[in-house]
Chains A and B, each alone.
Chain A
Amino acid sequence: MNMTSPIPPRSGGPVKPSRLRGDRVTLAHGGGGKAMRDLIDEVFTDVFQPPGSEDQARLTADALQNPGAQLAFTTDSFVVTPPVFPGGDICKIAVWGTGNDLAVGGAQPLWLSAAFIIEEGCEFALLRQIVASMQAEAVKAGVRIVTGDTKVVDRGAADKVFVTTSGVGVIPAGRHLKADLIQPGDVAIVNGVLGDHGATILAARGDMALTTDIQSDCQSLNALIERVLDAAPNTRAARDATRGGVASCLNEMAEAAGLSIQIDEASIPLRPEVKGVCEVLGLDPLYLANEGTLVMFVPEAEAQPALDAMRATDPGRDATIIGQAMAGHPGRVTMKTLFGGQRLVDTLVGEQLPRIC
C-alpha cells in the first residue's frame, strides 16, 4: 500500500466538547462562516484527518512512478434513500462502490475525495453515524479520504444527504482490463447472488410494505480481483453491476466488445428471498441493483482457475458461470430460459416499475 503520511494516531486527552448547537443542520452550517467551520471540523475533519489543510491534497505514491503504471480515476454520486439500510449506509456504499469501480479496472485504490450535500434539517447524529462508517470502511479498504466538501441546501432539495466520491488508484504496468478485449468463447462469471442490494432497498423504502431479512451485498471486490488476476492472468474485463443490474452491465459490455452475449437462466444465482420480492412485485432480478457484484469475462481455458480463486474469497464464495460471449449481433444479450426457449435481455428502460399484472 502506497500512501503518503499514514493516518496519525488519535491524540490522548479529553474529548473536545461539541461546538455544534442543536440536533440538526441549518442553512447557517452551509454559510461559509463559523458554523460551517465547526460542522466541517467536528463531523468530517476530526474523523477523516486528511493530510494538510489546504484547498487541495498533495500526494505522491511510489507505484505511480513505475514505468507503464497508469493512474485510474473514477467518480460516483450516491443518493440512496433511506440513507441507512440493512447491511450498510450511503457512505459504506460510497467507499466500496468507488473502490470497486477502480478495482474492476485492475487498479489498487489509493485516495478518495468525499463531497456531501446535506439537506437542511438533517440530524447531526445521522451525519456522525455515516461519517464514522465511511472512515471505518476506508480503513478496511486501505484507502485514505484526503479531501472533501460540504454544502447545505434547503429542506426538500435533497433526501437528507447526497454523497459524491471520487477515487484515485494505480493500475500496475502490464495490466489491461477492457471490455473490447472480450473474445467469442470467453466465459462470463459473476461472484455471487444477484439483486440483494436492490431488493433490500425496495423493502427498506417501506412503500411496498414488505418485510425481509435480506441485506445489501455492499462489499469490497479488491482482494477478489487481485486473486483472480493471479490465477487467470488473461482475464479480459470486469465491471461492477450497479444500477440497472447485471442485465444492463452485460448490455454495456456486449456493446463495447462488439459481440453478443448468451446467458443461461438456470445458472443465475439468486437468494430465495430476492426471488420472492421479484415474484410479489413482478420485477425481473436481472435488473435489480447490486453493490458488491461484478461480471467478469475470462478466456474459457482460464474459467476454472478463475472460479476457484473467486470461491476462495468471501465475496466470491458463490461465484458461478452465467454465460458466454459470441460472435455476431454486436450489443445483443440473449438468455436461454429454464425451458430451453430464448428471450432477449435488453438494457433497462427507465425505472423498473412493480407490476401487478
Chain B
Amino acid sequence: MRYVEEFRDPDAAKGVLRAIEQVVDQIGATKEKPVHIMEICGGHTHAIFRYGLDRLTPPGIEFIHGPGCPVCVLPMSRIDECVEIAERPEVIFTTFGDAMRVPGTRKSLMQAKADGADIRMVYSPLDALELARRNPDREVVVFGLGFETTTPSTALSIQQAAREGLSNFSVFCNHITVPPPIRALLDDPHMILDGFVGPGHVSMVIGTHPYDFIAEDYGKPIVVAGFEPLDLLQSVLMVLCQSRDGRAEVENQYARVVPDDGNPVSIAAIADVYEPRPTFEWRGLGEIDASGLRIRPAYHAFDAEEKFGVGYGAGPRLVTEPEGCACGQVMTGRIKPPQCPQYGTGCTPEMPLGALMGSSEGACAAYFQYSATEEMMEAAE
C-alpha cells in the first residue's frame, strides 16, 4: 500500500531507534528521570501500542497519553442524550463504531441497539445523508463526534443537506478542539511535560500555527506527526533533538499530508456551520473555555439539540463518575492504565466502567488489547 508500507519499513526503523538512543544518552535521560513526551491523539496512542514502540524506545522516554480521544473525553451525560434521541421510534441514529461500547448512566449505544433502538454504525456522515434521502419519513441523526479532523465532514454534510432542502437530517454536535485542552494541561502545575507529538490529522485541517502558543508561551517543543511507526519514531527523535538543543519550536514531520496553513475548504466549512460554545465539559478535565462547538443559528434546522430538546445547557445534567473510575487521571497522563485500581478487574473491554476501556481508541483499551504486564512481555523477549 503506497504511502503506508514505506513508512513501516523495519530496517529504516533500526536507524531511527539507534539515533533516538544516542540523543537520549546525550540528554542523560533514564528510566528514573525520563523525558516526558505526550502524544496527544488517541490514534497515536493506538499506533504506539500496536507496533510496540513504547518497548522499542529506550526507558529514558516516557510516553504520557494525552486527552486526544474524543469519545473518552465525552461526559457520560452526552451518551445518555444519544440514547434518549436514539430511543425515539422515528429516529435512525447513526454513529461511528468507536462510540458503541462506551457506557452511559443507563446503557451504552450497543445495549440500546439490542433493546430495539434503530442505531446504525456508519463509516461516513455522507452515508447518513443518503439514509435521510432514502427514508423521508424518518429522522436521521448523526452523532457528531471528534476533533477538527472529523468536524469538516459533518459541517460539509450539513451544508449539503441545506442545499438539498432535507428536513429530516440533523447532527448532535459534540465536536471539540485540540488547542484548549493542551493549554489546560500546560497550565496544570502537576503535569510534567517536556514535549509533544502533535496530532497529524487534526493538523491536516487546522495547520501547524495553532500550536505556536505551546512553543512561544510555554517553551515546549511540538512535532506534528504522521501515524505510521516510522513517522512516530522520527517525530520522537525530533522532539528529543529540540530538547537536547534547548529549542522550543513547532515542527512538521507529516509535511506530505499537513500543509502549514491547513485546509482552507475545511476551515471555511467549520467556521460557516459551527461556533465555539462558551465552555464545554471534558471528562477528567472539567470545564474548558471555548473548547466545544455548537451549530450556528443559521443552520438550526440541522441541530439535533434543538430538534430533540437535549444537549448542553438544556437542563441540569449532573452525572458523577462511577465509583472507582479513574478515567480522568489516566486521560491527563497522571497515571498509566495498569495503575488504575479497576484496570482488568472491575473494568475490562467486555464490561467497561469508563470510556477509556469502552472506546477502542482509549489508552486503557489499547493497553489491554496490545500489551500485558511488564513481566510477561519481558519473558517473551
Q: Are A356 and B97 in contact (CB under 8 A)?
A: yes
CA distance A344 to B365 in the complex (A): 12
Q: Are A332 and B43 in contact (CB under 8 A)?
A: no
CA distance A357 to B150 in the complex (A): 10
CA distance A337 to B50 in the complex (A): 8
B98 at the interface (CB under 8 A from A): yes
Closest residue on chain B to residue A354 by CB atoms? B97
Choose from B50, B101, B348, B350 the contact partner of A343 (Cβ within 8 Å). B50
Min distance, Cβ A91 to any Cβ of chain B, angstroms? 28
Choose from B1, B97, B350, B372 the contact partner of A353 (Cβ within 8 Å). B97
A59 at the interface (CB under 8 A from B): no
A281 at the interface (CB under 8 A from B): yes
CA distance A64 to B51 in the complex (A): 51
Whether A344 touches B379, Cβ cut-off 8 Å, given contacts A337-B52, A338-B8, A355-B360, is: no
B42 at the interface (CB under 8 A from A): yes
Q: Are A350 and B101 in contact (CB under 8 A)?
A: yes
CA distance A58 to B110 in the complex (A): 46
Count chain A residues whose beta carbon lies closer than 8 angstroms to a beta carbon of B: 33
Interface contacts (Cβ under 8 Å), in number, total 110
A267 at the interface (CB under 8 A from B): no
Chain A residues positioned under 8 Å from B13 (CB to CB) = 339-340
A329 at the interface (CB under 8 A from B): yes
A279 at the interface (CB under 8 A from B): yes
Q: Are A209 and B127 in contact (CB under 8 A)?
A: yes
Q: Are B98 and A355 in contact (CB under 8 A)?
A: yes
Whether A341 touches B360, Cβ cut-off 8 Å, given contacts A208-B123, A334-B380, A353-B98, is: no
Q: Are A349 and B349 in contact (CB under 8 A)?
A: yes
Q: Are B371 and A353 in contact (CB under 8 A)?
A: no
Q: Are A355 and B97 in contact (CB under 8 A)?
A: yes
Chain B residues positioned under 8 Å from A280 (CB to CB) = 123
Chain A residues positioned under 8 Å from B69 (CB to CB) = 357
Whether A329 touches B379, Cβ cut-off 8 Å, given contacts A337-B50, A343-B49, A344-B371, is: yes
Q: Are B101 and A353 in contact (CB under 8 A)?
A: yes
Choose from A344, A355, A357 the contact partner of B370 (Cβ within 8 Å). A344
Chain B residues positioned under 8 Å from A346 (CB to CB) = 368-369
Choose from B49, B52, B122, B361 the contact partner of A355 (Cβ within 8 Å). B361
A24 at the interface (CB under 8 A from B): no
Which of B42, B50, B124, B146 has the largest count of A CB atoms less than 10 A from its CB? B50
Contact with B along A182-217 (1 / 0, CB 8 A): 000000000000000000000000011100000000
Closest residue on chain A to residue B147 by CB atoms? A357
B96 at the interface (CB under 8 A from A): yes
Q: Are B10 and A342 in contact (CB under 8 A)?
A: no
Q: Are B123 and A356 in contact (CB under 8 A)?
A: yes
Contact with B along A163-191 (1 / 0, CB 8 A): 00000000000000000000000000000
CA distance A332 to B376 in the complex (A): 9
Q: Are B51 and A341 in contact (CB under 8 A)?
A: yes
Choose from B52, B122, B123, B150 the contact partner of A341 (Cβ within 8 Å). B52
Q: Are A337 and B380 in contact (CB under 8 A)?
A: no
Which of B42, B229, B371, B380 has the largest count of A CB atoms less than 10 A from its CB? B380
B120 at the interface (CB under 8 A from A): yes
A317 at the interface (CB under 8 A from B): no
CA distance A349 to B10 in the complex (A): 29
Whether A337 touches B371, Cβ cut-off 8 Å, given contacts A328-B379, A357-B69, is: no
B29 at the interface (CB under 8 A from A): no
Min distance, Cβ B101 to any Cβ of chain A, angstroms? 7
Q: Are B51 and A356 in contact (CB under 8 A)?
A: no
B56 at the interface (CB under 8 A from A): yes
Give residues 313-357 of A contacting B (CB, 8 Å).
328-329, 332, 334, 337-344, 346, 349-350, 353-357
CA distance A340 to B380 in the complex (A): 12
CA distance A102 to B100 in the complex (A): 37
Q: Are B56 and A341 in contact (CB under 8 A)?
A: yes
CA distance A344 to B50 in the complex (A): 9
Whether A357 touches B371, Cβ cut-off 8 Å, given contacts A276-B1, A339-B229, is: no
Q: Are B97 and A340 in contact (CB under 8 A)?
A: no
Closest residue on chain A to residue B14 by CB atoms? A340
Closest residue on chain A to residue B127 by CB atoms? A209
A17 at the interface (CB under 8 A from B): no
Choose from A207, A266, A340 the contact partner of B122 (Cβ within 8 Å). A207
Chain B residues positioned under 8 Å from A276 (CB to CB) = 1
Min distance, Cβ B336 to any Cβ of chain A, angstroms? 16
Min distance, Cβ A250 to any Cβ of chain B, angstroms? 15
Contact with A along B26-54 (1 / 0, CB 8 A): 00000000000000001100100111110
A290 at the interface (CB under 8 A from B): no
Q: Are B361 and A357 in contact (CB under 8 A)?
A: yes
Q: Are B121 and A353 in contact (CB under 8 A)?
A: yes
A151 at the interface (CB under 8 A from B): no
Residues of A within 8 A of B (CB): 207-209, 260, 262, 266, 272, 275-276, 279-282, 328-329, 332, 334, 337-344, 346, 349-350, 353-357
Q: Could you name 26 residue pairs across A and B whose Cβ atoms are closer than 8 Å?
A: A207-B120, A207-B121, A208-B123, A209-B123, A209-B124, A262-B380, A272-B1, A280-B123, A281-B123, A329-B380, A332-B372, A339-B53, A340-B10, A341-B52, A341-B56, A342-B55, A343-B51, A344-B372, A346-B368, A353-B98, A353-B101, A356-B123, A357-B42, A357-B71, A357-B98, A357-B361
Residues of B within 8 A of A (CB): 1, 4, 8, 10, 13, 42-43, 46, 49-53, 55-56, 69-71, 96-98, 100-101, 110, 120-124, 127, 146, 150, 229, 348-350, 359-361, 368-372, 376-377, 379-381
